[in-house]
Amino acid sequence: MSQLFHRNTNIYSRLSIVAILAFLGFLGWVVAMLYMSGYHTGQADFVEQPIQFSHAHHVGGMGIDCRYCHTSVEDSSFANIPPTKTCMNCHSQIWTNAPILEPVRASFRDGTPLRWTRVHDLPDFVYFNHGIHVRKGVGCATCHGRVDQMPLVYQNANLMMSWCLDCHRNPEKYVRPREEVFNMAYERPADQPNLGADLVKEYKIGTVDQLTSCSTCHR
Amino acid sequence: MESTPARASGYKPPPPVIEPGHTFESVTSKISSVVLTKYQPVGWIITTLIAFMFLNLMIVSVSYLFLKGIGIWGNNVPVGWAFDIINFVWWIGIGHAGTLISAILLLLKQDWRTSINRFAEAMTLFAVACALMFPLIHTGRPWLAAYWLLPYPNGMGIWPQFRSPLIWDVFAVSTYGTVSALFWYTGLIPDLATFRDRAKHRVTRMIYGALALGWRGSARHWQRYENAYLLLAGMSTPLVLSVHTVVSFDFSIGIIPGWHTTIFPPYFVAGAIYAGFAMVLTLAIPLRRMFNFEDFITMRHLENMAKITLVTGLIVFYGYLTEVFFAYYSANQYEKYMIINRMTGPYAWSYWMLIFCNGLVPQTLWIKRLRTNPFWLFIMSLIVSIGMWLERFVIIVTSLHRDFLPSSWGMYYPTFWDFSTFFGTIGFFTTLMFLFVRVLPMISIFEVRTLLPQSKIEGAEGH
Amino acid sequence: MDFAAIRSRLAGAEGRLYWRSLAELSDSLEFREYLHREFPEQASEWNDPKGRRSFLKLMSASLALAGVGACTRQPPEDIVPYVRQPEEIVPGRPLFFASAIPMSGIAKPVLVESHMGRPTKIEGNPEHPASAGAADAVTQAAVLGLYDPDRAQTVTYRGEVRPWSAFMGAMQSATSGQKGSKGAGLRILTEPVTSPSMAELLATILQDYPAARWHQFDAIGSDGARNGIKQAHGSAANAVYHFDKADVILSLEADFLSPSGIGSVRYTKDFADRRRVTDENKHMNRLYIVESSPTLTGAKAEHRLAIKSSEIEGFARRLASTITGQSSSAASTPAPGGQLGEKWVAAVAKDLQEHRGRSLVIAGDYQPAAVHALAHAMNQALGNIDATVTYGPAIEAQTVDQHASLAELSNAMEAGQVQLLLILGNNPAFTAPADLKFAERLAKVGLIVYHGLYHDETADLAHWNVPQTHPLEAWGDARAYDGTVTLMQPLTEPLYDAHSAYEVLTTLTTQPMRKTTEIVKDYWMRAFGAGVWTIRNAQGETFNNAEAFWRQAVHDGFISGTAALATPFAPAPKPGAAAGAPGTAAAATTTDTAQAPSDPSTPATGSAQPPAPTPTPSPAPQTAGGLELIFRPDPHVLDGRFANNGWLQEAPKPLTKLTWDTAAWISPRLAETRGLDRGDVIELRYRGLTARMPVFIVPGQPDESVTIFFGYGRRMSGRVGNPPEEARAFNAFLLRTSDAPWFGSGLEISKTGERYLLATTQDHHAMEGRYPARVATIAEYEKEPEIFKHMGGHVPPRTLTLLPEVDYKGYKWGMAIDLASCTGCGACVVACVAENNIPVVGKEQVDRNREMHWIRVDHYFTGDIDRPESLQAIHQPVPCQQCENAPCEVVCPVAATTHSSEGLNDMVYNRCVGTRYCSNNCPYKVRRFNFLLYSDWYTESYYSQRNPDVTVRSRGVMEKCTYCVQRINTARIDAKKEDRAIRDGEIVTACEATCPADAIVFGNLNDPDSRVSKLKAQHRNYGVLEDLNTRPRTTYLASLRNPNLELEPAGERTTGH
């Protein structure tokens, strides 16, 4: 009887074994890439805001301190988004008619709050506390990046749990002197390992066990 | 290669394993005709239809489960596990016979295994498939389990907890499933080739041809085949023992009285083989009738299986007695109460039914007349399956529902969805089984050939 | 359907949905638009109720897939900052405000936690004498009532929505009609009023309308106490008991430890303080109780004599004549309870007399005036006045016999004399005694104005309905059980178009526009000016100006030192009660104003006149034969006012652990003779009235008596409280008559053959010789301090474990629970529910053992059920034991429950996949699983109640007590910011904070000076199931009893081993 298959089917069949494995591997790789990418984490994404507020201008340009607007960053979990009043402190004097600021004036007029869109949005089961991080020498820029150079703020880190744990497992890699916390331009010194280790002691930063206990962030 | 029984020089089967009067041709045509025909026995059609209905019931139940959560079942605190895990263990148990028959009996040169190993292995695969479902669905949110347990890509920087028996389960069962599948498929190759050659329609031939992986039955093929088959047999043998041992850890690692006991591994394994053989009987008896395979699956097969059932049954029964003795000997009030509660508590009925099904009924197999009566064997095998299900019910539910603090004692009542899921999986299993006998040789053609007297002259080469 | 869209919307739903959806909260209209945007095909269903259900089904389905959302992006969240941020608010930090929750007119002082303007939790007010930081279950549950979506929301006239102005107009015209007749047709029905400002307002109204009448009614108030004290004193007064000073206490059916009683929070504290035995100080008090149906007080008593309610007066007379020595007819009559009764009279009298000035006799609210008078007489004779009992001026602005008062109103209505009726709260159409036919007589009233929190049975019959402000929404004042003036401040603007009672009443005055704030503040400014109050600040200095005083008072939530002061500007209105009201002592009929003491500025304690030697006996109960019917308010929903509160419905009722339903209590023997079983529905026939009840068999209930509870069978309470069809008749008010408000004989019961499902959280009340809860007599404990260690199984050596030995540096959290002081009131359960966003699962799920409470109060009893006096009960609160060798941790496949560096057994909801292995392996069964989607994701109004510091769990997730880890973290962060260690007592768990008995103590075990370490050093300290080597961090201090050897010879003990 005639051959069912052409003879070089053998080669194909052998190849197919390799091919299938390769394909599965590739598929896994794609998934992993997507998962860690900004598409999923929102890292470095452009976020629509009601007002084109430029940190680059206000912080970088005019050198306004973070705490002028983010008032509760040192004593609360929430850094606070400034009330319209804060904007109007200046903008009742300058740029009083700038069309771009109309939403602000409107909000102040009829008391309807502005609606900003969260840029750094942790899942609701994660409890991050700004106060303690600032107090223990974690700089704003460490997580938020060079906000002073961002015309529009975007999410700097991927905010994955592994990213949090990297610092919670070895804080000495990231902590800086308290007085430098709000310094956007601060660069980690060459001897960060030693400096970090000293600061961890000096600031009584918790043991790794304590920093990595589940209930430290999840409740 | 002194491996397949037929090769054993000077070997004489006392009564023939298969009825006399068969030729290579008759064997081949008889077995392959089941598949390569347009016409089905009515019994096959009806059974398959019913089974398919139950399969759909399962699909509905599981979908509803994913929608609402496991609250649709009767599980509660204290009884956190119930039908879900009972069914899991039950199916895994059933999944033991196949590999045992194929591998261990092969190594023990039990030639009578040849005409039952094929569908026993198939049964194993399908049972394991059913079993695997439950660990996944019993959380009500399987997609999470999938990711937490295989944390790639690892965005969380933490790993599963390898101290938990549930993790060991994942590995044990999946390994077992994989090896069994390979073993089964390897065994199929020569017969697939036979089908390829006998099939009329070109498409059929193509399909079987592709599956046969270009088997030509050359001496080299056979030699490779024997090696591979033997190796796989060697690999699966320890697995038969390991799987259910690991499953039993799910309980013996726990501190619950009735769970926390050292006899579980052997006792579970024996129970598994017991349940497995019962299920083989349950399937073999109607199938041989349905397709007139009495010649291949002879009384000798049934009787041997009955004997194994009896032996393992006795081991299991011994296990029950040991549990009672442990409770008494431990002088531990929780253990003592656990046994008393099993015997006299609200679930006493399940315990005594269990003793009846697994303890008493198999004793009838001492009697040769019953042991060689297919009808009784069929009934008995059903009772044993029920008994083994009850055993898991007793272990899981009656241990949990009254543990340490009387204030948190409770009762468990199954709901409609508990039952629908269970019977659904039975439908799933039966459907697969019957589809299998329809498209693949349920009896290993070439191995049966080796049982023919002629094979001693010609050797066991294919044509 | 479009899962992708829903998924993306709900990806974050694992956690605090409401927090993310402040946008949704801020206005629901936009929320709807949002829905339309997201999935138009379902959004339409949102509006029609039937469609909504299917819609929600899909929602819950999609929530299931929220887990898959882990692979998608989170939906964008809005941040909505203030326009002008209030000074005191630091976003993300809660604020606490002192206020009060009035119940039956009497203030229960509270401290309210507020997150960004959203009241989320109620605690006790630590400074206030009536609270001392504790709050009972019903008070705490009030915060849920605030957000109840079923509250009355708009002013309506005959069912049609009207603006407030329309109501004011209507009242103007109505009152102008009354001017001529001096208000003869005007009636006002209120709860008892202790609020001075409210009293003044009422007084002014009654001056404008001299012929008008002011009636008071409270279905669960105690006329017995009111009238009894009048019999003893000749004038109204307020008795305050000091259990902390009493060595021997006799309770004549007084349930002063009740879970919801007036003043019981403070009473529990004082009582418990005398039972905190330490290895150093082994003195404890002794409690005798004579009562009918079992109570928590009875469960705590050393000796309990179970007799019918009607027999207690007889017992009291015998005892009184023995104590006072006055030979009266009573002396000869045999004591109830036969032999045992006689024995009791002798023993108790002896014991009381041996403790002159350090003993206390207290009569129950549900006993007639005569018993109260006898109690006062006995205290007088025992020299307890001003020692363990003090008398102050009556705290009610006008003390009237309430059933008489309501009867008078009802008759006036029948006679058609009532043209305008103002009903301020308390739903009389439901709670009025059946014989007054109040509801049907309302039809004869010209115009009915109802001012209630809900659109309830009364609102249904009223013409005008004005929604009442929730106590957390309005200014106000009221006096606490001891008379301390307590102030209420609003925590939020009224959520709906609600108005305070002041605003409703002002519509009758000449200046209807006055706001609540003005009225209350103005009153106290004048009170300050008038100087009748010797008001001092915390330092005991007088205030220099009214503003300072006011600010201080509002800040504290009460005005210190006002307990013994009578109300100034108190009204002297026409008496509201008719003469010779049936069933009450003659003394009750003369009503008088609150000025009991001549000079209001001096405490009235000294003014107790010698009591009448033999008080007027109350009329002998008709000996109609049959059973005795005993009425009680439900421990949680009281007279039905909290019927729509899910927390209270699901909180297990004391002793029975029954949830969601009421039941008729019968003794085991009665059940046996009548062939009744738990859940059998019986028909009760009593004085021509009938009702139905499912029965519950309660050991300790006197045979030949049946106890039924008010508050159920409400038709119009709301979606939570409305009973199923078959439970409509389970209404105790159907049987109540005004002449016998609390008990009466002549009850016939018959089995209907129907069954009714009663869902309980605990079915097995015997210890099975395992001694999870341990108790011994003080004598045994003195003899053998280690006695409790020997009760449990053998504890293995610490080395006998496979788990690594961890030594906890830094903090090491632990908890000690003192069973000797715990009364089983269950306040901790509700506190935990409020603090930790614990969902309500409903009756059907409770029946399946799926309740979610993180802390449960186990109840065990021992003894012979046929000899009630031999029964002893013990309560044991069980939170997570936080084992050091936690069996749950090793078995979790995904490490969702792990050990923290401080020894906490952490539970990570977002990590949990739901294998339930941990729960199976937990020997204490304290873990709770979300079998279905229990948290309410859909009722928007509840979003605001949730505690933003605790994740709201989704389905398929395991949860359990965390030792309030959110509070621990807050404290730790605060301490770390100040580079100091956490102080002992800085972290207070929710259950600890609210425990009236201070039975729960949490702290750092590594600090030898912490309160918890000291307690754990006690010999009474033991761990439950220690023989499993789990090393629980939560341990217990064994309970102690101080029995009288004459009543219980040593060795005849029924507990212990």
Do B156 and A161 touch, CB atoms closer than 8 A? yes
Residues forming beta bridges with residue C107, ordered by sequence position: C102
* C976/A206 Cβ within 8 A: yes
Q: What is the pLDDT of residue C606?
A: 37
Residue of A108, A117, A125 with shortest CB distance to C14:
A125
Do C569 and C196 touch, CB atoms closer than 8 A? yes
| Total length of chain B | 463
Tell me whether strands C420-424 and C447-452 are parallel, antiparallel or unpaired: parallel
Least confident of A58-72, C236-250, C605-619: C605-619
From chain A, which residues contact B within 8 Å (Cβ)?
Answer: 1, 4-5, 9-10, 13, 28, 31-32, 35-36, 160-162, 165-166
SS3 assignment, position C12: helix
Instruction: Indicate if the pLDDT at residue C881 is higher than 60.
Output: yes
Residues forming beta bridges with residue B133, ordered by sequence position: none
SS3 assignment, position C214: strand
Residues forming beta bridges with residue C465, ordered by sequence position: C156, C450
Tell me whether strands C705-709 and C775-777 are parallel, antiparallel or unpaired: unpaired
In this predicted model, what pLDDT tens digit does every residue of C895-941 receive, in sequence order?
A: 899 999 999 999 999 889 999 999 999 999 999 999 999 988 888 88
End-to-end CA gap in chain C: 63
Per-residue burial over B105-119, b if 16 or more Cβ lie within 10 Å, else e, is bbeeeebbbbbbbbb
Q: Give 10-residue mean pLDDT values along chain B (463 residues).
A: 46 62 78 78 89 94 91 92 93 85 80 82 90 89 75 81 89 89 90 87 87 87 90 87 90 91 89 90 87 83 89 92 90 90 93 93 91 91 93 94 92 93 94 90 83 60 43
CA distance C146 to C139: 12
Tell me whether strands C186-190 and C420-424 are parallel, antiparallel or unpaired: parallel
Confidence of residue C875 (pLDDT cuts 50, 70, 90): very high
Residues 6+ apart with CB under 8 A from A187: none
In this predicted model, what pLDDT tens digit does every residue of B140-160 receive, in sequence order?
A: 888 777 777 777 777 888 888
Residues 6+ apart with CB under 8 A from B35: B195, B438, B439, B440, B441
- Residue B78: cis peptide before it, omega within 30 degrees of 0: yes
Minimal CA–CA distance to C829: which of C698, C1015, C996, C984?
C996
Q: Which of residues 921-980 of C touch A (CB under 8 A)?
A: 949-951, 962, 965-966, 968-969, 973, 976-977, 979
Q: What is the pLDDT of residue C265?
A: 93
End-to-end CA gap in chain A: 72
Q: What is the pLDDT of residue B201?
A: 84
Residue of B156, B197, B210 with shortest CB distance to A161:
B156
CA distance B99 to B47: 26
Instruction: Indicate if the pLDDT at residue C60 is higher than 70.
Output: no
Minimal CA–CA distance to B90: which of B435, B413, B384, B341?
B384
CA distance B398 to B74: 14
Q: What is the pLDDT of residue C2?
A: 39
Q: What is the pLDDT of residue C326?
A: 67
SS3 assignment, position C749: strand
Minimal CA–CA distance to C669: which of C696, C699, C692?
C699
Question: Using CA of residue B320, residue B323, residue B329, residue B334, what is the dihedral sign?
Answer: negative
Which of A77, A122, A164, A219 is the best residue to mutate to test the C interface, defined by the most C CB atoms within 10 Å of its own CB?
Answer: A219
* B409/C858 Cβ within 8 A: no
Q: Is residue C79 within 8 angstroms of chain A, CB to CB? A: yes
Q: Which chains touch C (3 or more CB pairs under 8 A)?
A: A, B
C-alpha dist (Å) from residue B148 to B157, C896, C914: 11, 10, 12
Residue of B141, B254, B337 with shortest CB distance to C891:
B254
What would the mean pLDDT of A86-101 be, rounded to a whole number?
88
Q: What is the pLDDT of residue C624?
A: 53
C-alpha dist (Å) from residue C493 to B161, B367, C353, C424, C520: 50, 86, 56, 21, 17
Q: Which two tokens stand for residue C55?
A: 């819609």
Residue type at position C601: S
Q: What is the pLDDT of residue C1050?
A: 61
Least confident of C598-612, C714-728, C1010-1024: C598-612
Q: Which two tokens stand for residue C180?
A: 């001529």
Q: What is the pLDDT of residue C188?
A: 92
Q: What is the pLDDT of residue C546?
A: 81
Q: Which two tokens stand for residue C1015?
A: 């307690």
Least confident of A125-139, B185-199, B432-446, C577-591: C577-591
Q: Which of residues 32-51 of A touch C (CB under 8 A)?
A: 35, 39-40, 42, 47
CA distance C676 to C756: 13
Which of B141, B159, B417 is the best residue to mutate to test the C interface, defined by the most C CB atoms within 10 Å of its own CB?
Answer: B141
SS3 assignment, position A214: helix
Per-residue burial over C146-169, b if 16 or more Cβ lie within 10 Å, else e, is bbbebbbebbbeeeeebeeeebbe
- Burial label for C387, CB within 10 Å (0-12, 13-18, 19+), is middle
Q: Is residue C1025 within 8 angstroms of chain B, CB to CB? A: yes
Residue type at position A28: G
* A161/B155 Cβ within 8 A: yes
Q: Which residue has the tokens 């008391």?
A: A111
Q: What is the pLDDT of residue C327?
A: 60
In this predicted model, what pLDDT tens digit does every residue of C358-388 receive, in sequence order?
A: 999 999 999 999 999 999 989 988 999 889 9
Tell how far CA B211 is from the center of its chain.
Answer: 25
Partners of B196 on chain A (C-beta within 8 Å) are: 4
Q: Enter the ipTM.
A: 0.90
C-alpha dist (Å) from residue C438 to A116, C433, C434: 57, 8, 8
What percentage of residues in chain C have a pLDDT greater than 70?
85
- The distance of A77 to chain C (nearest Cα, Å) reads 6
Confidence of residue A130 (pLDDT cuts 50, 70, 90): very high
Residue of C16, C77, C979 with shortest CB distance to A204:
C979
Residue of A4, A31, A161 with shortest CB distance to B209:
A4
SS3 assignment, position C584: coil
Confidence of residue C393 (pLDDT cuts 50, 70, 90): confident
Q: What is the pLDDT of residue C567?
A: 62
Minimal CA–CA distance to C691: which of C743, C749, C624?
C749
Instruction: Indicate if the pLDDT at residue C9 is higher than 70.
Output: no
Q: Is residue C909 within 8 angstroms of chain A, CB to CB? A: yes
* Minimal-distance CA residue of chain B relative to C888: B254
Q: Which two tokens stand for residue C104?
A: 């039956």
pLDDT: is C15 or C932 the higher one? C932
Mean per-residue pLDDT of chain C: 83
Residue type at position C128: H
Partners of C949 on chain A (C-beta within 8 Å) are: 127, 219
Q: Which residue has the tokens 């930063």?
A: A205
Q: What is the pLDDT of residue C617?
A: 56
* C965/A135 Cβ within 8 A: no
CA distance B58 to C61: 18
Residues 6+ apart with CB under 8 A from A99: none
CA distance B221 to B223: 5
Residue type at position B460: A
Determine the angle formed by the axes of helices A102-110 and A84-91, rounding to 10 degrees. Answer: 120
Minimal CA–CA distance to C693: which of C704, C681, C676, C705?
C681
- The distance of A3 to chain B (nearest Cα, Å) reads 10
Backbone angles phi, psi at C90, to 5 degrees: -105, 110
Residue of B74, B80, B410 with shortest CB distance to C929:
B80
Partners of C932 on chain B (C-beta within 8 Å) are: 68-69, 71-72
Instruction: Indicate if the pLDDT at residue C890 is higher than 50.
Output: yes
Q: Which of residues 114-153 of A touch C (CB under 8 A)?
A: 114-118, 121, 123-127, 129, 131-132, 135-136
CA distance A162 to A35: 13
Residue type at position C267: Y
Indicate the pTM of the whole model. Answer: 0.87
Do C382 and C323 touch, CB atoms closer than 8 A? yes
In this predicted model, what pLDDT tens digit does every residue of C120-175 receive, in sequence order?
A: 999 999 988 898 889 999 999 999 999 999 999 999 999 889 999 999 988 888 88
Partners of C79 on chain A (C-beta within 8 Å) are: 81, 115-118
Q: Which two tokens stand for residue C468?
A: 């009442």
Cα-trace Rg, chain B = 23
Do C423 and C453 touch, CB atoms closer than 8 A? no
Do B179 and B232 touch, CB atoms closer than 8 A? yes
* C956/B141 Cβ within 8 A: yes
Confidence of residue C537 (pLDDT cuts 50, 70, 90): low
| Total length of chain A | 219
Partners of C927 on chain B (C-beta within 8 Å) are: 77
CA distance A1 to C250: 109
Q: Which two tokens stand for residue C462?
A: 């009223």
* Minimal-distance CA residue of chain C relative to A48: C76
Do C655 and C291 touch, CB atoms closer than 8 A? no
Which of C765, C849, C897 is the best residue to mutate to test the B interface, defined by the most B CB atoms within 10 Å of its own CB?
Answer: C849
Instruction: Indicate if the pLDDT at residue C66 is higher than 50.
Output: no
